[in-house]
Amino acid sequence: MLQDYSDLFDVYLEKEELPEYAQGDVLAKYIKDVLDDPGNHHLCTTDPVWKDLLKSSLMDFFRQLLPHFMELEKEEAREKQRMRNFQKADIKGKRLMWPLIDEDIRQVYPPSDVNMDGYIQLMKEKKISKDLIFNALVSDWSNACEKRIAKSKQKLLDNYKNHFMTQAKQAGNEDYRTIQKTAEVLVKYPALQEIIQLMGREKEKNTQEEDSTITRYIPLLLAHSKSKEEIEGIRLGDDLNNILPTEVTWLSEPETQVYFFQKFASKQLQLFASKPPTIQQKKTDQEKQKKPRSQEGPMIISVDTSASMHGLPERIAKSMTMQILQTAKRKNRKCFLITYSVRAKALDISKPEHWSKVKSFLKNQFSGGTDGEYMLAFVLDALNTDNYAMADVLVISDFEFNLPLSPTRKKIEEEQKKGTCFY
């Protein structure tokens, strides 16, 4: 239901009129009122960030209201079922039901909505069909019920919307500054835009209908290094110039320093293995296929949220996440976020009910350890389900962990053969 209102937001912003099916909907009218505000309308049509934040705030507000609305709708459904039971009953059944129905209607509805005295007088007229009277009564009763429920919904909305507007304005300004700050990273690093375009398959529109070529981008395992050499892998030794940052942590506590020096003396410290730099920056392999990729799957972002990502890597990760989410929304693709803080399942951040978690992701500082093997294994397991088929997968990390094990690398290659792209 929340998704319906999210879609309605976009429809009204584009066409500036509510669809016929939404004309009598209280929340739909409120969306219209919000977007009819000149300031909101201008910002939503010129600033995508503001548009998403306003929609997110509205959906958060609706999420709080909808449980109350659903209770009212259940009440309406029960009352209309009672109407149908009354209509279906024979004349004897109607007579048995009449006293309680008469009492309940008089207690709930004013005579202007359902004139019970008038219907009682009509029933005394022998020339008028009793079925016509009963049908007219049920019609008035049904209209009065719908009017009452709509009025109750409107009252709920009116009671909470002022509080919502105050909170939304304050939170919106904070969220806007946060998102704008993350977006600035892409301006400084244009190469990141290429990755976003690849994830969105913006460069595949000119592929031929038959015998098209899929380029599979194999993820580069990068790591911090002061040298100009390219990182090839991990080796053991005592070269402190190429030591992994994780090894240095043994020096942080007096109790573990002895262990560090033991590894140093025995040349068992983990070091970056390097090779001379090459011109090629990404490894690709190409394969001809008989038919082009028939569909675009979801976009999966797996983010390393460990403490080593603090600073620029964290800002890049958050900026990329937001931009890819925007691309997914534009192309109507699902967008899943996998982080170390969301271990139970991948989160579909394209759904309105999960936008609050996206904002938390942007605000919270990365912390904790790194388990690269687990991260890749989780992604690969997810790809075996229907929801993740034909996906584009982006792993954002400083890769300060060991290279993936051979079985994991083999699984990546298998998924690439199926059309999944890794970046």
| Structural tokens at position 372 | 């690269």
Residue 296 pLDDT greater than 80, yes or no: no
Q: Quickly state the pLDDT bin for 206 (edges 50, 70, 90).
A: very low
Pure H helices in 302-419: 312-330, 355-363, 372-383, 406-417
Q: Quickly state the pLDDT bin for 403 (edges 50, 70, 90).
A: low
Count of beta carbons in the 10 Å neighbourhood of residue 394: 24
pLDDT at 78: 95
Bridge partners (DSSP) of residue 303 are 339, 396
Least confident range from 245-249, 279-283, 415-419: namely 279-283
Question: Higher model confidence: residue 328 or residue 372?
Answer: 328
What is the mean pLDDT of the segment spanning 50-64?
A: 79
Residue 286 pLDDT greater than 50, yes or no: no
> What does the pLDDT look like over 252-261, one tens digit per residue?
666 666 666 7
Q: Quickly state the pLDDT bin for 282 (edges 50, 70, 90).
A: very low
Q: Which residue has the tokens 């009910």?
A: 353
Q: Quickly state the pLDDT bin for 227 (edges 50, 70, 90).
A: very low
- CA distances to 6, 58, 60, 73, 318 from 63, rounded to whole Å, are 11, 9, 5, 15, 25
CATH number of 192-217+294-422: 3.40.50.410
Phi, psi of 193 (to 5 degrees): -65, -35
Question: Higher model confidence: residue 218 or residue 61?
Answer: 61
**How many residues are recorded in the chain?**
423
Coil, helix or strand for 259? helix
Least confident range from 88-97, 104-113, 178-187: namely 178-187
Count of beta carbons in the 10 Å neighbourhood of residue 293: 15
Do residues 422 and 395 lie in contact, with contact meaning Cβ atoms separated by under 8 Å? Answer: yes
pLDDT at 202: 65
> What does the pLDDT look like over 362-383, one tens digit per residue?
777 787 766 667 777 777 777 7
Closest to 170 measured CA to CA, from 53, 280, 309, 21: 53
Question: Higher model confidence: residue 214 or residue 8?
Answer: 8
Instruction: List the domain boundaries for the chain.
Output: 2-186, 192-217+294-422, 230-275
pLDDT at 249: 66
What is the mean pLDDT of the segment spanning 296-306?
A: 81
**Torsional sign, CA 43, 47, 48, 54:** negative
> What does the pLDDT look like over 140-154, one tens digit per residue?
999 999 999 999 999
Residue 242 pLDDT greater than 80, yes or no: no
The identity of residue 65, as a single letter, is: L
| Structural tokens at position 185 | 């990273």
Residue 232 pLDDT greater than 70, yes or no: no
**Average pLDDT for the chain:** 75
| Structural tokens at position 279 | 């011109």
Q: Quickly state the pLDDT bin for 387 (edges 50, 70, 90).
A: low
Least confident range from 9-18, 97-106, 129-138, 174-183: namely 174-183
The identity of residue 363, as a single letter, is: K
pLDDT at 117: 93
Q: Quickly state the pLDDT bin for 96 (edges 50, 70, 90).
A: very high
Q: Quickly state the pLDDT bin for 207 (edges 50, 70, 90).
A: very low
Least confident range from 15-19, 69-73, 153-157, 324-328: namely 324-328
pLDDT at 226: 40
